[in-house]
Amino acid sequence: MTRAVVFSEDLNGFKNAASLAYSIANEVYGVGYNDVKYTDKLYLIDRTEEDSIADFISSINANLYVFGNSKKDKIIAAQVAGKRKIGYIPDIISVEVSEGKKVIAERVAYSGLAISKLECELPCVVTVSKSFGEVKERNTQIERVNLKESKIKVIESKKATSSADLANAQIIVSVGRGLGSKDNVALAEELAKILGGAVGGSRPVVTELGWLPEDRQIGLSGIKVRPKLYIALGISGQPQHLVGIKDSKIIVAVNTDKNAPIVDNADYVIIGDAVEFLKTMIERLKAK
């Protein structure tokens, strides 16, 4: 393969993407905000908006476009694939080029339960989701580029109310559909307050039932948490939820179904009604 282009908004992601690119391409171009020297050539860009960056990267002729793994990297990767009308394989964990014509890549599927092997005609876009090793510094040729103005303007930004608290919380009281009603979420909030923790929830509680705001969803498409104590109330424990809580130190599950998947993934299990559990805990802790 002749040329690869790499981009990531963060340095480690950039180095990792470059490392992968060099394993299969003769020439690697980087696009970035900082003048780091890990590619043969670096386009030093002056704007951070996704559409401006995607426009520019799409204009570079390459066989492979390699991106890091941040949300922004993935947005730009998808835009490049769309603008160039080429294939896109996200989250790859291995890659090889077959007959100089196509990429064969593996990616984790079903929240870690399977690995899919995919092929894509070159040129192709990939994002990387594991370490591809170190990359050495090079004698990089640097070219400054003034990007086109973005079509999207930021009108206002404000701090998210709570997701930062959840990501760093040491104790999380988490609610699932099994809690039964929005009124019962108030009990979970009361328990979290007594314990000095935060409240989170499963996807249906946020997206379908609207019991909690969007920034409280835990799991694959929500926030990944790593508390010391995670109390899962009426949560079945599907893989998409478990992937967001696997770094918790202690998981306590309260569920009426002894066969719910969360039961096998918890350190302590209470088979019973989550609302009763909440009321009892609040009463006993208040009494103390």
**What are the residues binding ligand FAD (CB under 6 A)?**
176-178, 180, 202-205, 217-222, 234-236, 238, 240-241, 244, 254-257, 260, 273-274
The two structure tokens encoding residue 108: 């984790």
Q: State which residue, 90 or 234, has the beta carbon closest to ligand FAD.
A: 234
Among 257, 225, 254, smallest CA distance to 241 is for 225
What is the nearest approach in angstroms of ligand FAD to the Cβ of residue 240? 3
Q: Which is nearer to ligand FAD, 18 or 205 (CB)?
A: 205
Based on CB atoms, which residue is closest to ligand FAD, 163 or 217?
A: 217
Q: Give me the least distance between CB of 207 and ligand FAD, in Å please.
A: 9
- Residue identified by tokens 């694959």 is 220
Q: Output 21 or 274, the one with its CB closest to ligand FAD.
A: 274
Give the nearest distance from C-beta 170 to ligand FAD in angstroms. Answer: 20
Which lies closer to ligand FAD via its Cβ, residue 150 or residue 238?
Answer: 238
CB of 273 to ligand FAD, least distance (A): 4
Residue number with CB closer to ligand FAD (68 or 244): 244
Question: What is the nearest approach in angstroms of ligand FAD to the Cβ of residue 155?
Answer: 28
Distance CA 72, CA 11 (A): 13
CB of 77 to ligand FAD, least distance (A): 18
- State which residue, 123 or 219, has the beta carbon closest to ligand FAD: 219
In the complex, least distance from residue 254 CB atom to ligand FAD, rounded to whole angstroms: 6
The closest alpha carbon to 248, from 223, 227, 224, 218, belongs to 227
For residue 118, what are its two tokens? 């995919």
How many angstroms separate the CA atoms of 204 and 206, rounded?
5
